[in-house]
Structure 1
């Protein structure tokens, strides 16, 4: 069993102990850690340390989320990153409401989400140094058939069902190749990968200044994107 595999199998109690020992907390007084259970695919915690609140997320092996979160935070699109390593991401704790709970119309929610996604896509055109470019280069390119195959591995299917789905995946792949070839100069950009209203937060305690050029340049924004674990380099239409 590898160390990474052992880490992946840690109990919540072991994760809490490890969380307290992270460099960002080790020399400070952590007064409370509570588990965040709703709407998250990975173990996540609310940490109160020295009177400040932090969001802590335990990451799967080889997650790209820490790198992408640092990049998007630099552009004002996601919460400020306090600490990041292979298995942990610590950010400021955002107090606010998820867009899915907003009383705004569906059209307004879509407009807000699309605006944020557009700014995310624009990062690919406005990276400012070699470090940011290296982050973009490390983000996997979207491969829909591979993702579908990974999802199918989690299902219990009969041999005939598996074969039928493999045939559909092949047809999908061929159609995607044709669709891409029919579009001239298709540009690949940084895509969130899991764009839904619950991943858009109306933040009350964090107002970042966007660095991306365009109509939203240098304005304070009260909404941010969360959860970049599914981020991919893909056509803008893949969001």
Structure 2
């Protein structure tokens, strides 16, 4: 599920010698087996920032080896050579010299499928200099370069300034993908299924929902079904239009009937303009998922965390951006306007749909937080999750009153 967290939750770090020693020792053992870390001394810091996956900051120093120890570590050297050849990490060649520490971000996913999706997207974006580079990926582990930059959530900026930076980064993210060629591993978002799964998980955790809660969820499902219908209808018409265009091109014949049909189809496309904006959505553009760099007067942001990536209308990503960051509805027009300034393809976005997606997104976030609060493995964070759940629920109530 999404990496949810409140706008006030910042990165905190737990050093291995002070907290969770057994857990950190286990993680150290796992990471030491990865070929990019073979022969290196690791210091691990657990990052606690509301992630649904486990995230660690790893610093490494080359282990000094000499004499008989060289023979003992021969197999490790072979692994390092393999690592170097595959360019999976910046492996040192000096066996006797203590080096300056190198820093990485290591993320352990709950399942391999999610790890593979994030690796696919991050590698694709890193090639375009839009995301940190991947150092290594194996099983449930993904190791990336560490970028020492602040998060957007950590900067003292107005809401309008944060929206400007976030929407610009989101537009760059969307532009990076060619829908026809770059989405083979990315599935279409099914919000009805997402809502259903979240409710089922709460039942398994025996988390009770009041009747008023059920009504909010039912409203979100109703909106999701209607919006999904529009998207599916557009997809069918778009496919039919492309097929017809191909036949016309092949025969090089344009009859008056085909012209009439094309005109009718184009009219339908205009009526469904808001559903035409299908993109690869980030799905969780929390201000904590943006690493910010500043040069002179310009501020740029690098997007991270891609486990919620899917195919969906751009209105959904804007709605989630507003919901997860609790952006006031009064700034909806500004959010859309700023996004369009950075978009090279889109010229129109449906404001009403952005608002409806913001409502659905806040319900999704609320249910997800409730699930985390009800999970016995999250005992230390229960109160934080409850507070974040309530915040998203209140946002949903605020949005629905305006729809």
TM-score computed with the length of structure 1 as normaliser: 0.76
User: What is the root-mean-square deviation in Å for CA atoms of aligned residues?
Assistant: 3.0
Is residue 179–residue 279 contact of structure 2 (8 Å, CA) maintained in 1? no
Name 1:37's counterpart in structure 2.
48
Task: Measure the CA separation in 1 of the matches of 2:30 and 2:40.
Answer: 14
Name 1:55's counterpart in structure 2.
105
Moved more, 160-169 or 35-44: 160-169
Task: Measure the CA separation in 1 of the matches of 2:214 and 2:287.
Answer: 35
Name 2:226's counterpart in structure 1.
175
Cα deviation digits, residues 134-180 of structure 1 (max 9, x gap)? xx211121111111112212322469789867754652343213543
Task: Measure the CA separation in 2 of the matches of 1:14 and 1:157.
Answer: 35
Name 1:148's counterpart in structure 2.
195
Name 1:102's counterpart in structure 2.
155
Is residue 96–residue 202 contact of structure 1 (8 Å, CA) maintained in 2? yes
Task: Measure the CA separation in 2 of the matches of 1:82 and 1:174.
Answer: 40
Moved more, 33-42 or 226-235: 33-42
Name 1:86's counterpart in structure 2.
139
| Closer/same/farther in 2, CA of residues 41 and 232 from structure 1, 3 Å limit | same
Moved more, 114-123 or 176-185: 176-185
Structure whose alpha-carbon radius of gyration is higher: 2
Is the aligned partner of 1:238 residue 2:316? yes
- Which structure is richer in relative contact order (CA contacts within 8 A, separation 6 or more)? 1
Moved more, 161-170 or 30-39: 161-170
Deviation at 1:124, TM superposition (A): 1.9
Task: Measure the CA separation in 2 of the matches of 1:187 and 1:86.
Answer: 34
| Closer/same/farther in 2, CA of residues 160 and 228 from structure 1, 3 Å limit | same
Structure 2 alignment gaps of length 5 or more = 1-22, 62-100, 234-270, 318-403
TM-score computed with the length of structure 2 as normaliser: 0.47
Moved more, 118-127 or 74-83: 118-127
Name 2:57's counterpart in structure 1.
46
| Closer/same/farther in 2, CA of residues 164 and 38 from structure 1, 3 Å limit | closer
Name 1:228's counterpart in structure 2.
306
| Partner SS for 1:84 | strand
Name 1:213's counterpart in structure 2.
none
Q: Report which of the two has the higher share of strand.
A: 1
Task: Measure the CA separation in 2 of the matches of 1:29 and 1:177.
Answer: 50
Task: Measure the CA separation in 2 of the matches of 1:84 and 1:203.
Answer: 26
Tell me the matched-pair count. Answer: 209
Is the aligned partner of 1:72 residue 2:125? yes
| Closer/same/farther in 2, CA of residues 49 and 147 from structure 1, 3 Å limit | same
Task: Measure the CA separation in 2 of the matches of 1:97 and 1:46.
Answer: 15
TM superposition outliers: structure 1 runs of 4+ over 3 Å:
157-170, 177-182
